[in-house]
Amino acid sequence: MEFMFGIPSFVQFGCGVAKQTGEVAKQLGAKKVFFVYDKGVKAAGLTDVVLSSLKEAGLEVMEYDEVLPNPPDTIVEEAAQKAKAFQADVMVALGGGSSIDCAKAINILQTNPSPINQYDGLNLVKNPTKPLIAIPTTSGTASEVTAFSIVTDTTKKKKMVIGGQFVGATMALADPEMTMGMPPAITASTGMDALTHAIEAYVSKGAMVPTDLFALKAIELIYKNLEKATKTGQDLEARTNMLLGSMLAGYAFNSAVLGLVHSIAHPLSVHCGLPHGVANAIGLPFVMEFNGVAVPEKTKDIALAMGLDVADKSAEEAVTVAVEAVKSLSKKLEIPKLHDLDVPKDLFDRLAEDALKEISTMFNPRDVTKEDVLQILEKAY
Ligand SMILES: [Zn+2]
């Protein structure tokens, strides 16, 4: 047996840990903190907890609130200049994947030359980065614990996957209270993203014993709590389980990588502006169905982790049950279809071509042709 497994970030998990941001930053040697978030997080009133903690610790803070969804490289370059001029020594990121990924990319450019586009790939970031504290406000991307930053290359119109040992956050402050205010639609789509991470990591060609353990526990936690967290946002236990589940899914896919659902989701976001979680949720059941032929036993494990009644069923039957359960969950969560989102069918060809070029396609358990992707898109329409 041979494998390479890693988790880049230390994690402090629990209600109220976001209030310790200032202390943690100080321990990491901070005097000047560059604080990255988006306007939605500010509107939800989440920045105050972090800001007052940083101020109480006597730190000088520069705020950057221009983060956009599917963060474009142009924003990263602009923010990196500001952080450099400010001479920031620690980064703090508060938000969903976009804010944390953006902060990771800004942080890379503090100690590595611009432009960010030259680091698209694995281990291309050569110089160690400064400390970064990530505080998630969604239970989806798990960017707080992964060694990847996903930034949009606006020239090539593709999502870059920047990965490596210097990319991840130094410390994740995973505070379920910071996810309580998430609106139902965001809870649903980001949660489906997390479920996709766990499922894709489990069936990935890059899966290994440690990632399997994290993936199965993540599937259980997410499948059993996502509907509750979406419909009863104030349920702290469901919120806590979702944050934990998404984090464990992050541990899994950080080393096992992902698969075809993400390969299709990335071009959908780039060309049609679909939020990452929505794009994944739409494709998940159809890719599971497609992959089921190649990994029936593993799909049965997934069904068992979800708590479905498949113990006495054949692996092939369990695939059908698992796929139907994911479809029905999507329905309950009101996940739209591609036609609801006005994705034009004449774009399918380009989407399929781009999906084949994504790194995650190499890790998909079943070999994929353009025709296969077109069929999946057709079903998801
Ligand atoms: Zn994802």
Tell me the per-residue pLDDT of 37-74, one tens digit each, with 9 for 90 and over.
999 999 999 999 999 999 999 999 999 999 998 899 99
In a domain, 118, yes or no: yes
* Boundary (domain end) residue, out of 149, 179, 209: 179
Q: What is the CATH number of the domain that holds 207?
A: 1.20.1090.10
- Ligand 1 centroid to 280 CA: how many Å? 7
Q: Are residues 219 and 364 in the same domain?
A: yes
Q: How far is the CA of 146 from the centre of ligand 1 (A)?
A: 11
Using CA atoms, how far residue 80 sits from 75, 86, 128, in Å, is: 8, 10, 16
Give the pLDDT of residue 14: 98
Give the pLDDT score at 127.
Answer: 98
Sheet containing 158-163: give its strands across. 121-122, 158-163, 148-153
* Host H or E run for residue 207: none
31: CA distance to ligand 1 center in Å? 33
Tell me which residue of 300, 305, 337, 335 sits closest to 321, measured CA to CA: 300
pLDDT recorded at residue 319 = 98
Amino acid residing at 16? G
pLDDT tens digit sequence for 324-362: 999 999 999 999 999 999 999 999 999 999 999 999 999
CA distance 46 to 251: 26
Smallest Cα–Cα separation from 94: which of 157, 42, 152?
A: 42
Same domain? For 62 and 200 the reply is no
CA of 195 to the centre of ligand 1 (A): 9
One domain for residues 132 and 54: yes
Mean pLDDT of 274-299: 97
Pair 191, 164 in one domain: no
Q: What domain count does the chain have?
A: 2
144 and 195 assigned to the same domain: no
Instruction: Report, as an integer, the average pLDDT of 235-263.
Output: 98
Q: Is there a single domain that holds both residue 218 and residue 292?
A: yes
Per-chain mean pLDDT for the chain: 97
- What does the alpha-carbon distance between residue 355 and residue 266 come to, in Å, rounded to a whole number? 8
Domain boundary among the residues 139, 163, 179 is at 179
Per-residue model confidence (pLDDT) at position 177: 97
Position 3 in a domain: no
- Dig out the tokens for 348 from the structure: 């399918």
Choose among 227, 220, 229: nearest CA to 307. Answer: 220
In a domain, 357, yes or no: yes
Ligand 1 center to 61 CA (angstroms) = 30
State which residues have CB under 5 angstroms from ligand 1, the bound ion: 193
Other beta carbons within 10 angstroms of residue 144's beta carbon come to 27
Ligand 1 centroid to Cα of residue 29, in Å, is 32
On whether both 233 and 339 belong to a single domain, the answer is: yes
Pair 34, 64: CB distance under 8 Å: yes
Are both 192 and 317 inside the same structural domain? Answer: yes
pLDDT digits (tens, 9 = 90+) for 167-179: 999 999 999 999 9
Domain boundary among 141, 161, 179: 179
1 domain residue, yes or no: no
With beta carbons less than 8 A apart as the criterion, state whether 90 and 30 touch.
Answer: yes
Query: Rounded CA gap, 233 and 215, in Å?
Result: 24
State the distance from the centre of ligand 1 to the C-alpha of 292, rounded, in angstroms: 20
Q: What is the pLDDT of residue 143?
A: 97
- Which residue from 254, 219, 238, 236 is spatially nearest to 325, judged by alpha carbons? 219
Residue 25 lies in a domain: yes
Q: Does residue 77 form part of some domain? A: yes
> What is the rounded distance in angstroms from the CA atom of residue 153 to the CA atom of residue 70?
10
**Gap between the Cα atoms of 73 and 119, Å rounded:** 11
Q: Report how far ligand 1's centroid is from the alpha carbon of 30 (Å).
A: 31
State the Cα–Cα distance between residues 196 and 276, nearest whole angstrom. 11
pLDDT, position 118:
98
Mean pLDDT across the stretch 215-244? 98
For residue 173, the enclosing domain spans: 10-179
Residues 147 and 212 in one domain: no
Q: What CATH number has the domain bearing residue 172?
A: 3.40.50.1970
Q: Note the pLDDT of residue 255.
A: 96
Residues 152 and 73: beta-carbon distance below 8 Å: yes
The pLDDT-based confidence of 197 (bands split at 50, 70, 90) is: very high
**Distance from the alpha carbon of residue 26 to the mean position of ligand 1, in angstroms:** 31
Q: If pLDDT is split at 50, 70 and 90, which confidence band does 105 have?
A: very high
Do 136 and 267 belong together in one domain?
Answer: no
Same domain, 175 and 200: no
Residue 48 lies in a domain: yes
- Rounded to the nearest angstrom, the distance between the alpha carbon of 198 and the centre of ligand 1 is 10
**pLDDT score at 66:** 96
Question: Which pLDDT tens digit goes with each residue over 137-156?
Answer: 999 999 999 999 999 999 99
Mean of the pLDDT values across residues 275-286?
Answer: 97
Residue 262 falls inside a structural domain: yes
Same domain, 113 and 200: no
Cα of 1 to ligand 1 centre, how many Å?
A: 28
- C-alpha 187 to ligand 1 mean position (Å): 14
